Chains A and B, each alone.
Chain A
Amino acid sequence: MSSMATDLQTRARQVLVLRFTGAERVAHWVHFVAFTVLLGTGLFIYAPFLKAFAVGEAGIATRLAHRVAAIAFIAAPVFYLVFSPRDFFYSLKESFTWGKDDWGWLQNAWNYYAHGKAGTMPPQGKYNAGQKFNALTQIITFGLFVITGFVMWFGKGSVSPDVFMWSVVIHDLSVIATVLLFMLHLYLVAVHPLMRESITAMFEGTVTEEFAKEHHGKWLAEKVYRKRDK
């Protein structure tokens, strides 16, 4: 038995769900690149084995790259706010709204993400509890990064040494918090055997209807279908 190639037009129509607007995706990737550069250049001063890059002229170049990336890091959410304000505020609101479905996600997370067992996993909104936690951490550490970063950039001599030194400590703690989540985030979208499809939402903006049903059922019912069926 052999199978013939078919015309695209004759195949079953694929249904895609828009998850992220163009502006959201641009903001995300600017944030991603800025964060990666900031992490890389920051590690030069954090990790003794990278010390060679922190020394002298190389160190000055590293510190300049860190500052340029810092500006992009600050620009990303501003871009998001300006070009996609409704989604910006919707995402912000969602991140701060926690209910029993989030608790249900936490209870079922290990079985779901390690064994593929749905159990009593409740349907999730546009962002599941893990994504909300990631967003919350990003929002809080963003503020901490920017404030302590500016203190270290421009505050030397005008703030007390204690404030300066605390800024270094808080900057470091924020790095640790975000790096752990960054590892988890990268793993889930690029390595995890069952979750890799989620990354298409950030590249193309869309996911398949099946994926949306499986992973964001509540959002699909309340925000996508209801609007479509109106």
Chain B
Amino acid sequence: MAKAMFIDTSICIGCKGCQVACKEWWNLAPTKTTQVGTYENPLDLNADNYTRIRFNEYEASGKVRWLFLKWGCLQCTNAACVDVCPTAALKKNEIGFVSLERDLCNGCGYCSQACPFNIPRMETINEFTGEAKATKCTFCQDRVTNDLTPACVKTCPSAALGFTDRDKVLATAKTRVENLKQLGYTEARVYGETELGGLGRVYVLTAPASAYGLPEKPEYPALTNLWQNIVQPFGYVAAGLTAAGLALNWFATRRAQLGNVETIKPEK
């Protein structure tokens, strides 16, 4: 049964414990950063940071609020990265996440370009030879396939994160949104229930998606279909027709040629 990650942004305290737990579980190197006037750190995902907390300031009815958004792969049901991956290194897992098999990845980077959320990052080993590996959050695939929760969920001190059956996560999220509305957060909403066929991360937001820097309607990239479902099959058909035409030509020409040839055979 599909599970999902519950993320209640109204409870998140922005402590970044999830980032640390992620790094510890995956044994990821630290990223050197410089202070540029924000608590956000690091400022972007990279090959050594599968998750991070995004900090956004939001002003509504004269009050400024600080919005924390736990960020990382959203584990789309209609996952463009899975569809463009030529090696099946990326696969949709029935538990409700997009798995990543590093051994199978050849570093082509198509996933990093197809993702509507700009999630997969390439660990570039050699820019010139193109040797690289895709990286992203997999909900700790080794943990969740063994009935454990993702490392970030396990560590979260404010219970802003949860990981359980998707139905339960959605029900909890909806109840939570109702409570928030009663508390005066009129813009509270659930994000992730239907987006791209349903996301593996289900967010409880206290402000519009755009205030968190989330796309209101994330879209599956149209070019993915054009390339895989139209251009490539067209190539096979065109090559087949050409081959058939050439075979036809060969028989016609051979017939014409033999009409003007006399072959003398040796005695038996």
Contact = CB atoms under 8 A, between A and B. Distances in A.
Interface in B107-128: 107-110, 112-114, 118, 122, 127-128
Interface in B189-203: none
A153 B106 CA distance: 14
A143 to B, nearest CB: 19
Contacts of A187: 246, 249-250
Interface stretch (B10-18, B167-175, B177-185, B228-236): B228-236
Interface stretch (B54-62, B90-98, B237-245): B237-245
B213 interface: no
On chain A, which size bracket covers the interface? 35 or more
B97 to A, nearest CB: 21
Given A56-B105, A63-B130, A64-B130, A192 B253 contact: yes
A56 B223 contact: no
A197 B122 CA distance: 51
Given A55-B106, A115-B256, A169 B227 contact: yes
Contacts, number: 125
B263 interface: no
B106 A63 contact: yes
B253 A161 contact: no
Contacts of B250: 187, 191-193
Nearest to A68: B129
A176 B252 CA distance: 26
B253 A114 contact: yes
B157 interface: no
A165 interface: yes
B243 A63 contact: no
Contacts of B155: none
Contacts of B127: 154
Nearest to A154: B127
Given A156-B112, A156-B122, A165 B221 contact: yes
A193 B106 contact: no
Contact of B226 (A54, A169, A179, A183): A169
Given A115-B252, A154-B127, A54 B109 contact: no
B39 to A, nearest CB: 25
Interface string A146-183: 00000001101100011011101100110110011001
A113 B226 CA distance: 36
B114 A60 contact: no
A194 B253 CA distance: 8
B103 interface: yes
A201 to B, nearest CB: 20
B12 to A, nearest CB: 29
Nearest to B236: A47
B223 A165 contact: yes
B235 A179 contact: yes
A45 to B, nearest CB: 5
Contact of A56 (B103, B130, B231): B103
Contact of A172 (B107, B221, B227): B227
A51 B86 contact: yes
Contacts of A114: 248-249, 252-253, 256
Given A51-B87, A56-B105, A179-B239, A165 B227 contact: yes
Contacts of B129: 60, 63-64, 67
A59 B105 CA distance: 8
B224 interface: yes
A46 interface: yes
B235 A172 contact: yes
B234 A176 contact: yes
Given A54-B86, A179-B239, A184-B242, A172 B231 contact: yes
A192 B106 CA distance: 40
Given A60-B106, A117-B256, A168-B227, 4 more contacts: A55-B106, A63-B107, A114-B253, A162-B223
Interface of B: 86-89, 103-110, 112-114, 118, 122, 127-131, 221, 223-224, 226-227, 231-232, 234-235, 238-239, 242-243, 246, 248-250, 252-254, 256-257, 260
25 contacts: A45-B108, A51-B86, A54-B87, A55-B104, A56-B104, A59-B107, A60-B106, A60-B131, A64-B130, A64-B131, A67-B130, A113-B249, A114-B249, A116-B260, A153-B130, A161-B114, A165-B221, A165-B227, A166-B223, A169-B231, A172-B227, A176-B231, A184-B246, A192-B250, A193-B254
The 4 A-B residue pairs whose C-beta atoms are closest, nearest first, are A59-B106, A165-B223, A114-B252, A164-B113
